[in-house]
A and B are shown apart, each in its own frame.
Chain A
Amino acid sequence: MAETNTVIGAHHASFAHQFDDPEQQRQAGALGMWVFLATEVLFFGGLFTAYTIYRLANPEVFAVASNELDLTLGFINTLVLICSSFTMATAVYNAQHGNRKWLIFFLCATVVLGMVFLGIKAVEYAQKFEHHLVPGAHFTIEGTDPNKAQMFFSLYFAMTGLHALHMIIGAGMMIVLIAMAWRNRFSPEYHTPVELGGLYWHFVDIIWIFLFPLLYLLGRSTIGH
């Protein structure tokens, strides 16, 4: 066995000796990433729980406050993130086939789409400051209890802020992957970092898939603008 490992190890510098074969190593890496993502589910889960409690207690206030969010920008951002998940999946596909050029291209496309998302998010945040919708001394809202509406916006900033932080970390990971791909570190036999970066990116997309309806789509039909 040790002899076989030495032979494989000679071919793949990335193959660690404690594993039986590269496939076992790849699966162990993916399993580790999923365990981390399970902790992330509960990390965001605390915020989702707080949201659920306060929304159940104040359905009308949350509906009015939600209508202050920019539905068009939220909708566009949802599409941007879905596109970025698609380019990420395509990057993994090209890594599996050893197409270094297309791998780099689609990783770059993923970063660009991530930056578009964050740019739109920055525009939205700026609007909230202009409209006095940031919780604090200058918070004002028409047509509902400002005290309770502040809670909606506290949750809005906490949830989207934590999500945006994950996007920034994800973009950093993409840049590392681009640098590694540039140095020819990946092959059809070894591209686990691309796969794990993809898992993280898709997870952040899934969080947004829930944030969009929970934050933007309340009472749109009954209150509207």
Chain B
Amino acid sequence: MSEKIVSMQTYAIIFATLVVFTVITYRVSLIDLGVLNFVVALTIAAIKASLVALFFMHARWSPRVTQLVIASSLFWLFILLSLTLADYIARGPNWTHGLRYPANP
């Protein structure tokens, strides 16, 4: 297996898609969709990040072991986020009381 050479045409399409998604995420944030604003913003960010990783970073054509490292980095991030959140939320309705803040300005 030799190094994958991605065509300039593919790079240009990915670049244009990233710009379009950036404009969409900006415009949508100005429309009130309630909780969906957050969902849309994060979904678009995830799509953009995937496009950069898969095409610009050649993850799509990387050896399996490299793809395993990428997947495991996301898995560990998932552990970090989910177990920390599970801890806080399991403290009950007053879970925010233990949070610390900077001193009064």
Query: Taking beta carbons and an 8 Å cutoff, which residues of A are in contact with B?
Result: 23, 26-27, 30-31, 34-35, 37-38, 41-42, 45-46, 48-49, 52-54, 56-58, 71, 75, 78-79, 82-83, 85-86, 88-90, 93, 96-97, 135-140, 146-148, 150-151, 154, 198-199, 202-203, 205-206, 209-210, 212-214, 217, 220-222, 224
Residues of A within 8 A of B74 (CB): 41
Query: Within 8 Å of chain A (Cβ to Cβ): is B90?
Result: no
Contact across chains for B77 and A41 when beta carbons are under 8 A apart = yes
Complex: chain B residue closest to A63, CB-CB: B37
B80 to A46, Cβ gap below 8 A?
Answer: yes
Chain A CB count within 10 A is highest, among B12, B31, B55, B101, for B101
**Contact present for A23 and B102 (CB under 8 Å):** no
Contact (Cβ within 8 A) A79 B57: no
Apart from A217-B26, A224-B30, 14 more pairs, CB < 8 Å = A38-B69, A45-B80, A49-B80, A49-B85, A53-B88, A79-B19, A85-B18, A90-B8, A137-B105, A147-B102, A213-B25, A213-B29, A217-B25, A217-B41
Cβ proximity bits B9-35 to A, threshold 8 Å, 1 near / 0 not: 001101100110010011001111100
Chain A nearest CB: distance from B66 CB in Å? 5
Which B residue sits closest to A21, measured CB to CB? B2
The answer to whether A198 and B105 touch (CB under 8 A), given A52-B85, A213-B45, is no
Q: Are B30 and A220 in contact (CB under 8 A)?
A: yes
B45/A23 in contact, CB under 8 A: no
Interface range for B: 35 or more
Q: Out of A26, A41, A146, A147, which one reaches B3, CB within 8 Å?
A: A26
A207 CB, min distance to chain B CBs, angstroms: 9
The answer on a CB contact under 8 Å between A140 and B105 is: yes
| Contact B99 A221, beta carbon cutoff 8 Å | no
- Report whether A135 and B102 are in contact in the complex, using a CB–CB cutoff of 8 Å: yes
Nearest chain B CB to A55's CB is how many angstroms away? 9
| CB nearest neighbor in B for A42 | B76
Q: What residues on B are CB-neighbors of A88 within 8 Å?
A: 56
Residues of B within 8 A of A46 (CB): 80
Q: Are B31 and A221 in contact (CB under 8 A)?
A: yes
Min Cβ gap B80→A in Å is 5
A35 contacts B49, C-beta separation under 8 Å: no
CB closest residue in chain A, given B55: A89
B53 — which chain A residues lie within 8 A by C-beta?
A: 202, 206
**A138 and B105 contact, Cβ closer than 8 Å, known pairs A38-B76, A205-B52, A213-B25:** yes
In the bound complex, how far is the Cα of B29 from the Cα of A146, in angstroms?
Answer: 24
> Chain A residues near B62 (CB, 8 Å)?
30, 34
